[in-house]
Each structure stands twice: as structure tokens, then as C-alpha cells.
Structure 1
Amino acid sequence: MRGTTRTVAVAGISAAALLLAGCGGGGDDETTDTSAAKTGGSISVRGCNPENPLVAGNTSETCGGNVLDVITAKLIKYNVETAAPEMDIAESIDTTDNQNFTVKLKKDYKFHDGTVVKAKNFVDAWNYTAYGPNAQLGSYFFEPIEGYADLQSEDPDGEEGPQKAPEPKAKTLSGLKVVDDNTFTIKTTGKVSNLPVRLGYSAFAPQPDAFFADPKAFGDKPIAAGPYKLDSWTKNAEIKLSKFADYSGSDKGNVDNITFKIYQDSGAAYADVQANQLDVTDEVPASAQIDDKYKQDLPDRNLQKPVGVIQTITTAPAAVDPNYGPEIRKAISMAIDREGIIKAIFNGTREPATGWVSPVVDGYKADVCGEFCKFDPAKAKAQLAAAGGFKGGKITLSYNADASHKEWTEATCNSIKNALGVDCVATGVVDFSTFRTQIHDRKMKGMFRTGWQMDYPSIENFLAPLYGKGASSNDGDYNNPAFDAKLAEAAAATDGATSNKLYQEAEAILAKDMATIPLWYSTTTMGWSDKVTNVKVTPFGVPHYAGISLK
């Protein structure tokens, strides 16, 4: 999508943009055309505990994100088959220099409360999310917009100290201006040639005026502009959605009601799908993947597809646990038999990771990690010795116990223990919400599983939000100025090939530091009841909930 001039019209982003955003699709999951699908009725789908109230700018995990994706609408949306960016609330996004953007909205696009989505609803929401004292997890995504630094302030003695952080210099981004009800402008600090591709991520969703009256309470029953609205949320039990009758977009839902049933165990959800007590599960437990058992359990109602998801192991920041430095991480990485674990636990349905970027996005480069992502017990042990040995007693690998991670984390620990001669223990945390809270609060020690589902189809999305200084999902507090400088250089490039090359150079810096330990690129395996049809999975690894219908 790189170019000195971009005109983004209602028909879609330019052909060059689609090339940059190109994402592997395919698979054998295609069913009937959802445009002719039966409408009406109710379905239930597997859910998990959101970490936080459902505020678009403060949700950075899939449990809450999957719900938000159904109830929100943004400037653009991503094609269900290819992830190519397409216009949604935006009528056009124009730029001549990749730094100054003019956004025009479609008229009379409505929120769930009946109010019209206006330019100010985007600008106000983005300013709220970017403003440091609001402590929104999505704040980092607004860093490219002019004035972001002035909305931040640093606590002089840390969060636990008696001193308070000073008020930021400004409360609004200088790079955002409302022109009229249907037009606003964006100015970035430097050139950001893939900015329009990013704008389909949930952090960029607009908020209705009602949000600003009570942002804290709003997240329990959010008002958005998507095809479904949230009716109720019974914590730890279910989230109920209903079809929004006045939805303004093109991706209108098929069923009248969707219930996200919250499970503490993916195996229980799978059993309920088998018994037709649950209509869709987006996770098939490892026990059902051995010898393709799920295909016998769920004949003609299953699918498997490579998606833009990578599984990694992150180590606690050095300030929290100093025992897992870069050279130790390299030793641990070489001690992991990725191929053996994939074969034994996942029935060959994963691909060993050789870097930090998913193969489904344009710009992927193989074997960035080199020898450190290859299983070699002898080299692993020598590397550990050269690093001075492991000083922390036993290695720990934590995971959320409400999903199917127990088997592979235990297999990974066994591989590490056998190769390095150091005890390794896989440790379950009760649920995803608790697990992520411990990580965000920097209370998680040792190693912990981290998975990344792309927010938008770009190589940049696998790098900047995870490893940029202060980034929202930088769980290990990785910090390398050379890496950040390379990201900035790549973002400013004016053609796709140059940009991708620079992002690849940034990824090579991650390899030198072993920022995290890449494990495998994911394949989504799903199953459904015999009551539903038109089940598809997006390139993001998420069911296309709005397209599902009853038979």
C-alpha cells in the first residue's frame, strides 16, 4: 500500500494497499454463501473471561476482543476471507503524503442507542484512549499521531511510590481535528504509510457521547455501532448479544441472538458441542486433535485453517525476575523440541516458528531466528553453560488453565528439563483474566505463554505492539532503541518492498536479543453443532460470528 499518493474511496482501499495487506487465506472451511443464509434464531458460542470491562480502547486480549469485534464498527473492516481492508464507517481516507489524512464518514451510521456516528465520536474516543492518565491498554496504538507525547507523563517514583505523576502537557492530540460532522483529519508525527490498514483495529472504534458520562460503568454494557448489541453480561457465566435492527453496515448478522458461554475448560466446551449443547467452539482440545479424533467426533462439522496467530514464550521483565536474560532464553529455545511437540500434542497442525512474524502476512521471512529456534540439546546445554548456568532454581512456565494449554506446556517443560538438566514446571493459572492481570501487573515471574492474534494484516503488527518500548503488549518490557528506530524508518518508507525489508531488519534485531521464544505458527481448529451452518474462520483465527446461521 506504499505510495506517495493514496486515494481511498468507498469501493475499497487502493490496489497497492491490498497488496501490502495481502494475507494468506484459503483452507477447506468454505461453506455456503452467507448472503443467502437463513436468518433468525439463537446460537451459543464458546467464550472466556474478558480481562477488563468491554471498552474498545482498553481491550488487548481475545476474550474481550472477540465480543467487541461483533458489536463494534470502525472506519474500515477486514474481509472475512482475505483480511483485505474495506471501507465500513469511512466513506474515504485520503492522503497525498502519508502524513496528513482526511477521513470522511458515511452519513447517518448509527450507534446502538440511536445516535449518529459523527467525526467527534472518533476524535473524542481516540483522545480519551491516548491520554496517559486514563491508563488505556490501547493507548500505544495512537503513538504515531502528532501530539501523543504531550498526553503522557511519567510517575517520578513508580506506581507504588508516594509521588503522583504530573499532569500531561495536553489532554487532546494536536494531530486530530474535527472539520465537520462527517469529516476529521489526522496528522502523524512522521510518515505512516500503513495507517489506513491499522484503522480497523478495535482501539480505533468510535465511542458514543454516553461513554464519556461514565467510562468505568460503560464497559459493563457498551454501546457501539456493529451488527450486534450487548444485552447483558453475567460475569463468569455468559455475555448475551442481540441483532441490532438499525445496523448501518453491510455485514448484517444472520441469527437474532448470540450468547458467549464462558467456560473454564475448553474440553467442557468441546463436549457440549458434541452433545449439541453449544453451537460453536473456536478451540478443540489437544486430546481431540490426536489422530484427528475431532473429525470422527464432529463429522462434517469441523474446520482447520492456518491463521495470523503465533505462539511464543515470554520471560518476566528483568526487574521482576532477573534469571532469564537473552543468553538464557537462547539456551531454553534450543532445548524445545518444537517438531516433536507439534506431532505429539497437535497432530502436526502447527508449523515450527523460525521467527516472530506469521507466514500469512506480506513481508514474512523464514529462518530469522536461525540456530536458536532449532532443537539441539547439546548446543542448548553448551549455551546455558556459556551463559553462566541457570541461577533461579527451577524454570517455570505459566499458562491459563481455562484453555487447552496444559499438555503442550508440560511437554515443553519436559523437553527443556531433558535437554538442560534443569527442572522445569508448567504452572496453571485459574483463568485467562487472572493470568493476564498478573502479567500486566508485573507479578508473574519466570516464563509464561504468550500468543498473538494479529490486529490488522501487516508485518508491523507482529513487531511494534509487542516489542516497541512501552507498547501495549510488550509483556517482557523489551527495550532496544535500535529496534524502535528501525520501526520508525520502516513506517516512513514510501513503497511496500522497502518497508517490508526494514521491518525484516527490525525482526533480525529481535533475534539477536531473543526478545521472546518463538514456538509455532498456529492453525485454528473449530467445531460446531449439527444445528448451525455457514461457519467460517477469519484470517485472524476468529469465527465469523455474524455469518453463522441455523440450518
Structure 2
Amino acid sequence: MKIKRIGVVAIALAAAGALTLSGCTSGDTGATDESGSSTAIITTNGNEPQNPLIPTNTNEVGGGKILDSIFAGLIFYDADGAPVNDMAESIETEDAQHYTIKIKADQTFSNGEPVTANSFVDAWNYGAALDNAQLSSYFFESIEGFSYDVNVPELPGLVVVDDLTFEVTLSQPESDFPLRLGYSAFFPLPESAWEDIEAFGENPIGNGPYMLDGEGAWKHNEKIDLVVNPDYQGPRQPANGGLDIIFYATQDASYADLQGGNVDVVDQIPPSALGTYEDEFGDRSVNQAAAIFQSFTIPARLPHFSGEEGELRRAAISKAINREEISDVIFEGAASAAHDFTSPVIDGYSEEIPGADVLEFDADAAKDLWAEADAISPWTGTFQIGYNADGGHQAWVDAVANQLKNNLGIEASGNPFPTFAEFRTSVTDRAIQTAFRTGWQADYPSLFNFLGPIYGTDAGSNDGDYSNPEFDTLLTEGLAETELDAANAKFQQAQEILFKDLPAIPLWYRTVNGAWSEQVENVQYGWNSVPLYYQITKSE
């Protein structure tokens, strides 16, 4: 697996210096070459979103893929993960704590409403307010006035200066704040959203390169139809006529449609085809490193997994898994064994973090650790791993379960849910009573993004409800650093705590494996594994 590191914007602040993101362009990305039609619809694979499409309540890839196409944030990330201004004219600071953000003039939502400073501030306030129970509220934690204890309908750290300018005050200096602003939690919302936010989520009105193709465009559990938004003026100008995202029941089904010429681009290859798809599709295939980390989470609320007993059992389970074997046999080169909780394509990644040896396969050590836990409280029951059956996970879950059976002498199995939406709802509602598969496709290219949103106390994607004050403190200290190396050193120290507590069991890093039909050209997969749909051209 070729590794290409993605450099976070290096921010070194002098005493009177200023950080500015302004005037960024990405060239003419909307040109259609001779082989393509600007009206042709691109078809691709996806998942039924877990929730209605409200940006601050969407923290999974099915909904995220749609939101990134129909909304435009202050910035977006190019193929390599570098930030490019979208709605932002400039993002400036002199101290990494007080930011002034100016929006480009004459930007509109697809219903004609103007994109203003209030479009962002109102949406962020909604996402941050405790009473609104938004899954991505954690992303506003840094803004002055945010609280997990008291509902704050309007953050004092957000101030509208004029129609196109607002100011953000953070609780402490955090120099990577501008880099986060391309994530969907920070997208704007039109005034019409507040008339009925639940109805809006079913038929969202965005300001991005695409928009929903009228009423009924979202056919639940089937597909969503997007067309070009003619009012979008940003740098992601579509070179096609729209995007149909099909919610396939299995990866095998989407791959069969690709082989039959019934879908244009897929970004997932089923395990059964990983060894053959590159030969079949040749230069119309991709196998490249991406910012994707996979694991499974064992909530401390489960019997036998709290306190000292839980610590011993988590370490035993981790050491009982032969990650290299599963990576080679199941994924056939499309994954590599994890050495940490982040991704090797991100600056700051290290395989030398103390405690990482808990990820090394050692069946004898695993048995000893399990026996120590049994001495505290004898094991009862079956160890299960929950997963969505429509995501191509059964093979590796079964392989892990078999290794746990053989190496620990316990009953272990998978716990399948029919669809991704059903699985995620069970996880977020805390209804699931087994371990469950987890993973992370980065929101922005930073070590912190693999740690804070997943393991920080009360974080929106902290599905195992992990909490360690020492870990939280190291994250806060890392964010406050103005030198990237110093920040990453803190994040690596935080991982030492994770290796001891193991709130999730790291498994492997995934590549993005995809292919496309003969009808399309200019296909490029981004740093986070998602194709840059707006660049794709298609012959009629």
C-alpha cells in the first residue's frame, strides 16, 4: 500500500503575525472535455443516511456524501486534503483565538436566499445548543460559551458584524481551527430551514454544486437524485448534469451493476472481488491510501468490560487478533494492520508510540491476560461484534470471531444488522448490547480529528461513552500548540492512554478501492476516499 502523507497546514504564529486563508482558487474545475456532456447524470453507490439531512446531525458517511455535494462550507478540501476557500473570502486571526471570517458577496442558496454571516452563525448556534441534541455538537466545543451542562441557544463566541462578516472567539488559542471549517457540521443553513427543521432535513436546501432534483428526490432506502445547482458560484463547478446516489443493499450488488454498465463510479469493492478488480478494470480502477481507520468498540457498560477486568479483557482480545493474516487473506492488499488510532497518511503518524505493542498478535499472552480477568470474575456469555450486513463486513467480522474462539477459547460471533441506518441507530441510541464495528473517515486532515471526536468526553462520535480526563487534557493542550510538531507530540501522548484503556480495538488502515465504467472520465478519488464527483465527465 503506497502511503502519501497529507500535510496539515503548518501554522506558526509570531507575536504580531496573522494567519490568513484568502484568495484561494482551484482553477477551472468545471470544464467539460470533448468526450463528456455537461448534462449527463453520474451514478454512484451510497448508503441510506441514518438521519434527516441536517448538517449538524449527520456524522456518518452515507449522509456526509450527500451533504458535501449539496452544501458549500467556508472551505473545501482538494484531492490532497489542502483547504481551498469556497464561501469564505478570508479567514483571519492574529492570535489563533479570535477569528474574523468574511464571506464572498452574492452567494445564494438554491432557493434564492442569500448566504450571509447569519446563515453560518445561526446554523452553528443550533448545532451547539444542548437542547437540540445534535450528533456533531462536539465540533463547537472550542467556541467560547459552549456548554455540556446548560443549554446555550446563542454562543457568545459567535458575533455577526455585518451581512458578510462574523467573528469567532475560541476558549483558548487553537491554530488548526480554520482547517476544520470544511466539515459538514460547519455548513450554513438558509432562513427557511427554521420554519420546520425536521421537514427541512427531508428536503434540504443547500448552497453547493448540486441540489435535490425536486420533491421526492430522496427515495428512502433506494436512492437520492441530485442535479446541478445553477446558483452555485464556487470553485467546485460540476462538469456533468447531476449525481444519482444509489443505496445498494450490498457491495456485491453495486459491483455487479458496475460490471454490467449500470452504475458509473463505485468507491467500495466487495471482499470477493478485491483480488481481481484491478485486473478486470485496469486503468479504470484505484487502490490508494486514504485517511480511513477501522476498529471495533467495546462499551464499558457491557458485563465484564469495566474496571481492571475490562482492561485485561480488552488487551487480551487485541492480542488474540492476527491483523496481518486477516489483512492479507480477507482484504488482499486493500488494508494494512493498524499501529495506532489514526492513519499513516496524516502528518504526525507514528509506529513508535509506547503501549502500541498491545496491537501485536500473541496468542499465549492473550490467554494469560484472559485468565487474569477470569480470576477477577469468570467469563460468561458469547462475545459478539455488531455490524451492518450491507457494508461488506461479514468476512472480517467472522475471521476476527474465529480467532477469538481459537485463541481465547470462548464463543464469539458476528451480530449483523440488515442496513447501515438500522445499525447506526442502534449504536447512537445505545440500544446495542454487544461490541460493534467502528471506523473513521477523516473530516479534515489532522491527528486530532481521529482522536477528539471519537474518544473525547461527550464527543458526538464517542459511541462507547469513553471518558478519561487525562486524555481530554492532552487533547486540549495539543490544540493550543501553535507549532504542528508540538501539537502532534501531545496527540501521541494521548494515544498512550488509549493503548492502555483500549476504548476501541484498532484493526487496520483501509485503502480506497474503486472502479468506474467506460462511459466516464476525469475520475479522481480524494484524500478521504470519496470521488470528486463534480470533476467527472460522462458521454451521453
Aligned to 1:383: 369
Letter of the 1:121 partner, please give it.
S
Structure 1 Cα separation of the partners of residues 483 and 174 of structure 2? 11
Query: CA 1:492/1:139 → structure 2, altered by over 3 Å: closer, same or farther?
Result: same
Aligned to 2:12: 3
Question: How does the TM-score come out when normalised to structure 1?
Answer: 0.91
The answer as to 2:274 corresponding to 1:275 is no
Q: CA deviation at 1:35?
A: 4.1
Q: CA deviation at 1:34?
A: 7.0
Q: What is the SS of the residue equivalent to 1:521? A: strand
Aligned to 2:7: none
Aligned to 1:196: 178
Q: What is the SS of the residue equivalent to 1:200? A: coil
Q: CA deviation at 1:320?
A: 4.6
1:200-215 equivalent positions in 2, closer than 5 A: 200-215=182-197
The answer as to 2:409 corresponding to 1:421 is yes
Structure 2 Cα separation of the partners of residues 296 and 44 of structure 1? 23
The answer as to 2:203 corresponding to 1:221 is yes
Q: What is the SS of the residue equivalent to 2:380? A: coil
For the 8 Å contact 2:138–2:458, the answer to whether it is kept is yes
The answer as to 2:288 corresponding to 1:305 is yes
CA deviation map 1:481-531 (0-9, x unaligned):
000011111111121111111111111111111121100011010022221
| 2:81 aligned residue (77, 80, 83) | 83
Query: CA 1:247/1:321 → structure 2, altered by over 3 Å: closer, same or farther?
Result: farther
Question: How does the TM-score come out when normalised to structure 2?
Answer: 0.92
Letter of the 1:11 partner, please give it.
G
For the 8 Å contact 1:465–1:473, the answer to whether it is kept is yes
For the 8 Å contact 1:315–1:445, the answer to whether it is kept is no
Query: CA 1:500/1:409 → structure 2, altered by over 3 Å: closer, same or farther?
Result: same
Q: What is the SS of the residue equivalent to 1:197? A: helix
Aligned to 2:64: 65
Structure 2 Cα separation of the partners of residues 74 and 322 of structure 1? 44
| 1:314 aligned residue (287, 297, 317) | 297
Structure 2 Cα separation of the partners of residues 148 and 431 of structure 1? 34
Structure 2 Cα separation of the partners of residues 74 and 208 of structure 1? 13
Query: CA 1:9/1:228 → structure 2, altered by over 3 Å: closer, same or farther?
Result: same
Deviates more, 1:324-333 or 1:122-131: 324-333
For the 8 Å contact 1:323–1:391, the answer to whether it is kept is no
For the 8 Å contact 2:87–2:107, the answer to whether it is kept is yes
CA deviation map 1:133-161 (0-9, x unaligned):
11111111000000111xx44xxxxxxxx
Could you say what the CA RMSD is over the residues aligned between the two structures, in angstroms?
1.6
CA deviation map 1:186-240 (0-9, x unaligned):
0001111110000110000000001111100101111111100012101111100
Aligned to 2:6: none
CA deviation map 1:311-366 (0-9, x unaligned):
011012x2354446222111001111111001111112211001101111111111
Structure 2 Cα separation of the partners of residues 243 and 12 of structure 1? 23
Structure 2 Cα separation of the partners of residues 33 and 344 of structure 1? 40
Letter of the 2:19 partner, please give it.
T
Structure 2 Cα separation of the partners of residues 6 and 36 of structure 1? 38
CA deviation map 1:46-103 (0-9, x unaligned):
11110000111100000000111111100111112x1011111111111111110000
Q: What is the SS of the residue equivalent to 2:231? A: coil
For the 8 Å contact 1:130–1:139, the answer to whether it is kept is yes
Aligned to 2:475: 487
Structure 1 Cα separation of the partners of residues 286 and 262 of structure 2? 19
Structure 2 Cα separation of the partners of residues 418 and 511 of structure 1? 24
Q: What is the SS of the residue equivalent to 1:241? A: strand
Aligned to 2:51: 52
Structure 1 Cα separation of the partners of residues 246 and 52 of structure 2? 17
Aligned to 1:158: none
Q: CA deviation at 1:9?
A: 3.9
1:357-396 equivalent positions in 2, closer than 5 A: 357-368=342-353, 369-388=355-374, 391-396=379-384
Query: CA 1:340/1:11 → structure 2, altered by over 3 Å: closer, same or farther?
Result: same
Structure 1 Cα separation of the partners of residues 218 and 66 of structure 2? 11
Structure 1 Cα separation of the partners of residues 433 and 31 of structure 2? 49
For the 8 Å contact 1:90–1:103, the answer to whether it is kept is yes
CA deviation map 1:453-498 (0-9, x unaligned):
0000111101100000000110111100000011111111121111
Structure 1 Cα separation of the partners of residues 485 and 235 of structure 2? 33
Query: CA 1:79/1:386 → structure 2, altered by over 3 Å: closer, same or farther?
Result: same
For the 8 Å contact 2:295–2:505, the answer to whether it is kept is yes
Structure 1 Cα separation of the partners of residues 333 and 44 of structure 2? 26
The answer as to 2:98 corresponding to 1:100 is yes
Letter of the 1:6 partner, please give it.
A
Structure 2 Cα separation of the partners of residues 99 and 300 of structure 1? 46
1:80-479 equivalent positions in 2, closer than 5 A: 80=79, 82-149=80-147, 152-153=148-149, 168=150, 170-231=152-213, 232-289=217-274, 292-316=275-299, 318-323=300-305, 325-368=310-353, 369-388=355-374, 391-479=379-467
Letter of the 2:449 partner, please give it.
N
Matched residue count: 513
Structure 1 Cα separation of the partners of residues 445 and 31 of structure 2? 25
For the 8 Å contact 1:320–1:443, the answer to whether it is kept is no
Aligned to 2:533: 545
Structure 1 Cα separation of the partners of residues 30 and 208 of structure 2? 17
Deviates more, 1:394-403 or 1:319-328: 319-328
For the 8 Å contact 1:323–1:392, the answer to whether it is kept is no
For the 8 Å contact 1:305–1:525, the answer to whether it is kept is yes
For the 8 Å contact 1:454–1:540, the answer to whether it is kept is yes
